[in-house]
Amino acid sequence: MNELITYSNGLRLVVNRNPSVRSVAAGIWVGAGSAEETADNNGISHFTEHVMFKGTDKLNAFEIANAFESIGASVNAFTGKEATCYYAKSIDEYTEKCFEKLSHIFTRSAFKAEELDKERKVIIEEINMVEDAPEDICFDLLAGTLYENSPLGRTILGPIENVKRFTHNDVSAYMDELYNADNIVVSFSGNIAAGEADKLVRKYLLGEIRSNKTVKKEKKSIAVKGGCAVRIKDFEQSNIGISYKSLEFRHPMIPAQNIFNTIFGGSMGSRLFQRVREQLGLAYSVYSSPLAYVKNGNFNIVLNITAANTEKALRAVKNEIDRAVAEGVTREEFEKAKIQLKSAFVFSEESVQNMMTSQGKFMLLANELYSVDKRIEEIDAITLNDVNEFIKTTFTGGNVCAAYVGKETGVDVLDIIKG
């Protein structure tokens, strides 16, 4: 059962009660991510997330970690393009202690200069680590090409020069702008009733968070010009990303996209996996994966291959794209994919972490309660014709970009995919 409570200051609480488990996951979601940043402060969302755990007015960094570990709980956070989430998970008997500490960190972090200086070194190491991760480089290049000159095209980590100069004042100003009650969702999932969650929010968080009115940038659909970004590096494997302009978050045809993704490259039985890896042996990893944002979306195809196989692998992928456009998917593939997706949604209910994440994201980005039953109804409502229309709409025209990271091959990725 999912419930929503909205407070007078705009804070929203969503609760998914699951009395069959003995654990509770709690998340504090903020509408703050790299898509809300400018070129000058790119990386501030991720920086803020990191330094939130470096000490409060009462606890140092070790005491924060120990407060959770001493009750067998876990605590962490992540930053995305459109949201940041701080979360903790514990057995149900320690839910209050866990949420008290999570709220304390969220509202009382001190952001001392010496702690910020320590953590900026850690973040710079994280940025450096990306340079040794070809798939991460590829995704960043792909986003930069697809969403050129827009916040969605910037990296979440930001450039090193920005990270080096962020101060306590920068973090505080950013939080004053976006860490406000009307831009925050608290999400609980597990063995907790809505009334209990409400008491915890009122006791530890409601009166402590900012109530400034959040003025967010208007999000718009971004036109895709097409293009290919290339980074030549001496990696053993080459990474290729191909991205088509696709559907925004909560577009009514998202279920059709998900059905096609399952058929095309989202599982071991998919067309891409079976043809490119199993039959031709041209890639260790090949898959497709859609990404959806509030006003934008893209459908990605990713390959991890030996550089020498670049042209053969790309032509194999191109053949599968062309076959999908020309022939669509079969009734058998369609029905199988529906079953796979519905099963995945049902299985997700078994994880309090998954449900906390889904609930928080849906409420924050779509102002909508998340429901597995509704997701299944949406899948059931999709027809075979819907999926085949999605294929034709998405994979025809010039709305495609690409990125290549690896050894020099002389192969034009985009030329093959568009040819």
Catalytic residue positions? 49
Single-letter amino acid, residue 195: G
Cβ–Cβ < 8 Å for 359, 2? yes
Q: Which residues contact 152 (CB under 8 A, 6 or more apart)?
A: 34, 35, 81, 143, 222, 293, 296
Cβ–Cβ < 8 Å for 356, 16? yes
Cβ–Cβ < 8 Å for 102, 75? yes
Token couple for 192: 């907790």
The span from the CA of 64 to the CA of 72, in Å, is 13
Cβ–Cβ < 8 Å for 127, 133? no
Cβ–Cβ < 8 Å for 253, 386? yes
The span from the CA of 29 to the CA of 34, in Å, is 15
Let me know if 68 is exposed, middle or buried by CB neighbors in 10 A (0-12, 13-18, 19+). Answer: buried
Half-sphere exposure (CA, 13 Å, Cβ side) for 281? 0
